[in-house]
Amino acid sequence: MSDTMITAKVKADMAADKTAKAMDVHVETQKGVVMLSGFVESKAEADRAVQLARGVKGVTDVKSSIQVKK
């Protein structure tokens, strides 16, 4: 699967997920590695974003720099 398709699938999965849909997370993919950045309301939301990204076919690793809003 191409990086563009992986990025689109991660974004679609986040949009469809009750927990993740309100998150302000940027998704990029390079050579199967998904990079997540942005801000969320809780650590649980950050963990969910990583979990969703890991579940996408073609993803080899997930790097997260998501920050929890204070």
pLDDT in tens, the chain (70 residues): 899 999 999 999 999 998 777 778 999 999 999 999 999 999 999 999 999 999 999 999 999 999 998 8
pLDDT of residue 18: 85
Residue 31: what pLDDT? 98
pLDDT of residue 20: 77
**Structure token digits, residue 67:** 């920050």
- Integer Cα distance of 20 and 1 in angstroms: 23
For the chain, how far is it from start to end, CA to CA, in angstroms?
Answer: 37
Q: Tell how far CA 27 is from the center of its chain.
A: 6
Q: Would you say 30 and 57 are in contact if contact means Cβ atoms under 8 Å apart?
A: no
Return the CATH architecture of domain 3-68: 2-Layer Sandwich (3.30)
